[in-house]
Amino acid sequence: MGLETVSDGADRFMAFVEELTSVIGHADRAVPLRDYCIGLLTAEGRKSVEPMAAVTAPAQVSAQHQKLLHFVGEGKWSDERVLAKVRELVMPAIERHGPIKAWIIDDTSYPKQGTHSVGVHHQYCGQLGKQANCQVAVTLSIANHHASLPIAYRLYLPKDWADDAERRDKAHVPEAIGFKTKPQIALAQIRTALAAGVAPGVVLMDASYGTNSALRAGIAALALAYVAAILSTVKMRAVADPDARVSARELALGLPKQAWRTITWRDGSADPLRSRFARVRVRTAPIRAAAARPEETLLIEWPRGEAAPTKYWLSNVDRKISFRELVDIAKMRWRIERDYQDLKQEIGLDHYEGRGWRGFHHHATLCIAAYGFLISERETIPPLSTTFLREVRETCHFRRLPTPRRRRSGRNATSPTPSRRSIAQWWSPSPGCCRAAPAAPADFDQTHDKIYDAVRLAVAPAAGLVLRVDVKRKRRA
């Protein structure tokens, strides 16, 4: 890999940001947009405004801090238009590896200690796995087996917040924003995506959404297929035995041995991923006198060695779909967990320190934009062999650039987020530090050491923007 690859990557980043500038409004927002995205990709540790200002304008940190703070917290630009442009720019890179297979509904939470940040409420916090003080944002992502990308993002505003005029005013919550449940927000995001012409996929969701029959009915009314995880307590009737109203768990435990099949749905990092599954045609029956519901397929997973089934899904996909394909689609929801992990640990999605509605969404939008650029760059650099990597590292001398951060205390102390070694250590070359990089060996893309590239940006005050290639281990669920 020659140094021209690095230059080309920096050019692609600038072209990417320029495209975003075309939908962000005033021309004077172009520079803070570029700097904010660079800060998200290069600041070490916490990606709040202060460290990003130190990275992007080390000689004018105070002034840069104010500019970025105003841009993200007060700037009157449209999150929806920017996310639509990111989708337009990134989808070709995703679809080069196949069409969009799934739309994934989910939410992500942000633990908080105070009560003033917009939407903070004592509610279930997925990050902590329990009830806690937190913010929750609902997202919709598009995915295939190659990559996934969030295309919609909205804060869940609890009813206490929605009805409190004083708190709404302090957090600058728009008047048009009223109370909506999380499933209602998700359904609105799906309608918006359809209206925008996004390539449809099977809608996937976890049990907190899938158990909601109104959401499943709303998705079906839009002529979309879904595979929705549900709780084991959901009541239903098997089509073959309509008189017996039982829970999903009871139905699964009563299935004969021949109903279960071992299915391999994907190769894992070490071994193929396989488990035991069964599928049954059912109608849900929430109450005894309920009117007949449409038929759905109940998919059940019962891994060997477990005392009882562990996962349940309801689906309205074509009943002619192969068993393996149904399982494969249901299991695609893992991609969104990887997105959240990377967005939080590497891009700083959960590092925003403002309290207002606009800043919360602007920061998330720009994090998704930066993440989208990295997705589009994944395929520009082929896998590296360990030997070749060592030669490249010996070519350049690395110089660490510290970024200032404030120390905090308390249970939720904001210390630098632990992240994978590959991404956490960014670099910028000192002038004249690099010789010509060695050429990759001819057979290096046939190596099997599972080392893959991660693409980052770095800023050197004397040299401007450069693209950096670093290495991380490829992970598979």
Question: Is residue 315 situated within a structural domain?
Answer: no
pLDDT band at 42 (very low <50, low <70, confident <90, very high): confident
Question: Is residue 403 situated within a structural domain?
Answer: yes
pLDDT band at 277 (very low <50, low <70, confident <90, very high): very high
Q: What is the pLDDT of residues 144-190, one digit of tens each?
A: 998 999 999 999 999 999 999 999 999 999 999 999 999 999 999 99
Residue at a domain's end among 366, 389, 423: 366
Same domain, 193 and 105: yes
Same domain, 115 and 8: no
**Rounded mean pLDDT, 253-282:** 91
pLDDT confidence of residue 380 = 61
Same domain, 49 and 121: no
**Quick one: which of 146, 148, 168, 147 has its CA closest to 157?**
168
Task: Answer for the pair 106, 141: CB distance below 8 angstroms, yes or no.
Answer: yes
Asked whether residue 436 carries a pLDDT value surpassing 50, the answer given is no
* Total length of the chain: 477
Kindly state the tokens that stand for 132.
């806690």
Same domain, 467 and 431: yes
Taken in order 335, 336, 337, 338, the sign of the CA dihedral is positive
Q: What is the pLDDT of residues 392-417, one digit of tens each?
A: 334 333 333 333 333 344 444 443 33
Element (H, E) at 425: none
- Look at 26-30, 279-283, 473-477 and tell me which has the smallest mean pLDDT: 473-477
Mean pLDDT of the residues in the chain: 81
**Rounded mean pLDDT, 380-387:** 45
pLDDT band at 84 (very low <50, low <70, confident <90, very high): very high
Asked whether residue 446 carries a pLDDT value surpassing 60, the answer given is no
75 contact partners, CB below 8 Å, separation of at least 6: 29, 32, 358, 362
pLDDT confidence of residue 330 = 96
Question: Is residue 113 situated within a structural domain?
Answer: yes
**Rounded mean pLDDT, 333-346:** 89
Question: Is residue 139 situated within a structural domain?
Answer: yes
pLDDT band at 28 (very low <50, low <70, confident <90, very high): confident
pLDDT confidence of residue 379 = 64
Same domain, 64 and 116: no
Same domain, 198 and 107: yes
How far is CA 343 from its chain centroid?
6
Helices then strands, counting H and E runs in the chain, come out as 16, 14
pLDDT confidence of residue 289 = 62
Same domain, 109 and 130: yes
pLDDT band at 3 (very low <50, low <70, confident <90, very high): very low
pLDDT confidence of residue 448 = 37
Query: What is the number of structural domains in the chain?
Result: 2
**Rounded mean pLDDT, 268-288:** 88
Same domain, 394 and 444: yes
Element (H, E) at 215: helix 213-221
Asked whether residue 334 carries a pLDDT value surpassing 80, the answer given is yes
Q: What is the pLDDT of residues 44-56, one digit of tens each?
A: 888 889 999 999 9
Q: Which domain holds residue 411?
A: 3-77+381-473
Kindly state the tokens that stand for 154.
């909205």
SS3 99: coil
- DSSP letter at 295 equals P
Look at 422 and 9; give whichever has higher pLDDT: 9
Same domain, 30 and 136: no
Question: Is residue 140 situated within a structural domain?
Answer: yes
Beta-strand pair 130-143/202-205: unpaired
**Quick one: which of 144, 277, 248 has its CA closest to 204?**
144
Same domain, 340 and 201: yes
Asked whether residue 70 carries a pLDDT value surpassing 80, the answer given is yes
**Rounded mean pLDDT, 248-271:** 90
Question: Is residue 222 situated within a structural domain?
Answer: no
pLDDT band at 267 (very low <50, low <70, confident <90, very high): confident
Question: Is residue 223 situated within a structural domain?
Answer: no
pLDDT confidence of residue 8 = 66
Asked whether residue 63 carries a pLDDT value surpassing 90, the answer given is yes
What are the residues facing 143 on neighbouring strands? 102, 148
**Rounded mean pLDDT, 315-334:** 94
Same domain, 33 and 144: no
Question: Is residue 290 situated within a structural domain?
Answer: no
pLDDT band at 115 (very low <50, low <70, confident <90, very high): confident
Same domain, 103 and 183: yes
